Amino acid sequence: MIDKDMQDLLILSLYGELSDQEQKELDRLLSEREDLRREMALLQRLHQTLDEGHLRPPTHLLWQSRQQLSEALLTKPPAPSRPWMSFVVDWLSPSAPLARALTSLVLVTAGLAIGFLMFANGDRSRVGFDPFEQPGVRLSGVQFSGVDQGTGQVAVTFEATRTFQFKGPIDDERILRFLAFTLINDHNPGARLQAVNTIGNQLKTRDDLEIQNALIGALKTDTNPAVRREALQALKGYPSGPQIKQALLYVLRYDSNARIRIEAINLLESWSSEFDQETLEVLREKVQSDQNDYIRRKAETVLIGVGKEVF
Amino acid sequence: MSPADNEEKQLILRAQKGEMGAFEELVYRYDREVLALAIHFTQSQEEAKDIYQEVFLRVFNALRGFRFESRFSTWLYRITANVCFTQAARAKRRNSVPIEDEYVEQDGRGVSGNGSYLEPARLDNQPMRAAMSKEIGERIRSALEGLSAQQRLVFTLRHYQGHKLKEIAEILNCAEGTVKKHLFNATARLRNELSRFYA
């Protein structure tokens, strides 16, 4: 009877997933044990049988799919892509480990966006009705669409914009919503940076979930490293929690900026009493593969500090 | 960075700026593989087509947020995996038409409803062989359908598409050990289901 571990090794060997050393050791065992050779032969035949199920997409299906995609892109152009949209797309799935935690962020962000748009739309409709009745409205992009020869009506299109100002304490609900919205949605990295700095420097209480989620979103998805770094700084004021821990692990794994990864591992270290298996695995990965010397050494130190094996 | 990687990066950057031609070129580099994965995963042409559309529309919407922190192919396959899982969850709630119902059998080859071939990789025209292949193909389809969505996707990515386990772990954003576990469980299950064909 062949034990399960040995069977697993045989499967990995068939897929060429063993290291040279492991493969050598397995070859040695295979040369010594008849039962292993029989098992290997069975697995090889299973593989050959499964190869019968290999399907190639037919050309017409590929062609139809391409055609439909082109039509979809032409007739129904998707909304302009935004960093936070990709974040939603990538993570809003049952397969993603963070999906449940981040679903709340998506819902909050969507709610915030809808609320803001409803507010903005309300004003825009009034402007559309008679922009000259609105104080401080600026018109731009004026286009004459032509004259209807039948009725003699003239059509013009234009954009009407108006400046708003919110003033209030930092914990005012409208100010908080505005900051969260700006941090996640504004195209201008300067505006996002100002939003995150205002949150980090001015907000004394750290109990607003919308802000926390916006900071996590910015930390993970903002294209600007300064914004990501400031978001991480601002998150330091929050008590440890699974969402923030997951965001730190994400940064540690995927952020290309070593400085941000260093800050993430430093913050993670301060929560060492709450390390779970996933955190330990990420730290072990870092010991072995991070390109930055400091992070490799730091990950090792943290693991030793909590009495865990480094490898 | 290899010249090919650099070329792809330039292509992505152009697509991110809204150049449709670049986006199309990017799609055509990978769409055959995405469609193949979808076919293996769903065993249905119609569902595979739906997955294709959804994947590349998501890619189009999210491309500007792609920050080159992983390979583009990894990112694309991650989106594909997510769409596949969503599709699997939907399929649970309704009856899907299996791939075999989309064909009529002619001369030992699988033929789709509109007359085009869906080619099992090793089918040939000999009647006995074709009959056997059909039976094996059906049994494999049924065995694959018996796997969980995760097991099926891991198995398809490894066995039929040749991705390394490490890449699959990146695609699914999970530990390599988890991927191995799915592969081992899938193999054990397929082994039981298909024993009469190879043992």
At A130, the pLDDT band (50, 70, 90 cuts) reads low
* Chain centroid to CA B114: 22
Q: What are phi and psi of A161, to 5 degrees?
A: -125, 155
Q: What is the mean pLDDT of residues A143-169?
A: 76
List CB contacts (< 8 A) between B75 and chain A. 90
Considering only the beta carbons, identify the residue of B32, B53, B144 that sits closest to A57: B32
Given this model, what pLDDT does residue A66 score?
Answer: 86
Chain B residue numbers with beta carbons less than 8 Å from the beta carbon of A60 are 112, 114, 116
Cα–Cα distance, B191 to B189 (Å, whole number): 5
Q: What is the overall mean pLDDT for chain B?
A: 80
Q: Helix or strand or coil: residue B175?
A: coil
What are the counts of helices (DSSP H) followed by strands (DSSP E) for chain B? 9, 3
**A positions 192-221 inside 8 Å of B (CB):** 221
pLDDT at A3 over 50: yes
Token pair listed for A204: 């004394």
In angstroms, what separates the C-alpha of B44 from chain A's closest C-alpha? 11
Q: What is the 3-state secondary structure (H, E, C) of chain A?
A: CCCHHHHHHHHHHHCCCCCHHHHHHHHHHHHHCHHHHHHHHHHHHHHHHHHCCCEECCHHHHHHHHHHHHHHHHHCCCCCCCHHHHHHHHHCCCCCCCHHHHHHHHHHHHHHHHHHHHHHHHHHHHHHHCHHHCCCEEEEEEEEEEECCCCCCEEEEEEEEECCCCCCCCCCHHHHHHHHHHHHHCCCHHHHHHHHHHHHHHCCCCCCHHHHHHHHHHHHHCCCHHHHHHHHHHHCCCCCCHHHHHHHHHHHHHCCCHHHHHHHHHHHHCCHHHCCHHHHHHHHHHHHHCCCHHHHHHHHHHHHHCCCCCC
Position A244, amino acid = I
Q: Do B116 and A89 touch (CB under 8 A)?
A: no
Tokens coding A97: 């480990």
Give the minimum alpha-carbon distance from B198 to chain A in angstroms, rounded to a whole number.
Answer: 6
Phi, psi of A146 (to 5 degrees): 125, 175
Q: How far apart are CA A263 and CA A284, in angstroms?
A: 17
Query: Does residue A199 surpass a pLDDT of 70?
Result: yes
Counting Cα atoms < 13 Å in the Cβ hemisphere of A224 gives 18
Q: Please name which of B199, B92, B194, B159 lies closest in space to residue B182, comparing C-alpha atoms.
A: B159
Which residue among A17, A55, A61 places its CB closest to the CB of B49? A61
* A191 contacts: CB under 8 Å, gap ≥ 6: A182
Q: Confirm or reject contact between A84 and chain B (CB < 8 A).
A: yes
Ranges A108-122, A274-288, B9-23, B95-109: which has the least confidence: B95-109
Q: Is the ipTM of this complex over 0.90?
A: no
pLDDT band at A112 (very low <50, low <70, confident <90, very high): low
- Do A78 and B67 count as a contact with CB atoms less than 8 A apart? no
CB contact under 8 A, A46 and B82: no
The nearest CA of chain B is from the CA of A65 a distance in Å of: 6
Query: Using CA atoms, how far apart are residues A136 and A1, in angstroms rounded to an integer?
Result: 85
**pLDDT confidence of residue B4:** 81
CB count, 10 Å around CB of A296? 15
Strands B119-120 and B109-112, sheet pairing = unpaired
pLDDT classification of B180: cutoffs 50, 70, 90 = very high
Q: Taking 70 as the threshold, does the pLDDT of residue A235 lie above it?
A: yes
Interface mutation vs chain A, best among B41, B64, B68, B179, most A CBs within 10 Å = B64
Task: Give the one of B64, B136, B172 whose C-beta lies nearest to A95's C-beta.
Answer: B172
Mean pLDDT lowest among A12-26, A121-135, A260-274: A121-135
Q: How far is A148 from chain B (nearest CA, A)?
A: 35
**Percent of chain B topping pLDDT 90:** 52
Q: If you count residue pairs, one on A and one on B, with CB atoms under 8 Å apart, how many are there?
A: 181
- Pairing mode, if any, of strands B119-120 and A55-56? antiparallel
pLDDT value, residue B43: 87
Residue A103's pLDDT band (boundaries 50, 70, 90)?
A: low
Which whole-number Å values give the CA distances from A267 to A111, A131, A237, A252, in the listed order? Answer: 30, 51, 11, 11
Which residues of chain B lie closer than 8 angstroms to A46, CB-CB?
187, 190-191, 194, 198
Question: What pLDDT was estimated at residue A122?
Answer: 42
Distance of alpha carbon A190 from alpha carbon A222, whole angstroms? 12
pLDDT computed for residue A33 by the predictor: 92
Beta-carbon separation of B79 and A12 below 8 A: no
Q: How far apart are CA B61 and CA A76, in angstroms?
A: 12
Quick check: B188 pLDDT over 80? yes
Which residue among A54, A55, A97 places its CB closest to the CB of B174? A97
Q: How far is CA A96 from CA A33, B34, B59, in A?
A: 42, 19, 17
A5 touches chain B (CB under 8 A): no
pLDDT score recorded for residue A99: 53
Q: Report the alpha-carbon distance of residue A252 to residue A228 in Å, rounded.
A: 12
CB atoms within 10 A of CB A276: 10
**Which of B24, B61, B112 faces A79 most closely, judged by CB atoms?**
B61
Q: Contact A89/B174, CB-based, under 8 Å? A: no
3-class secondary structure, B4: helix
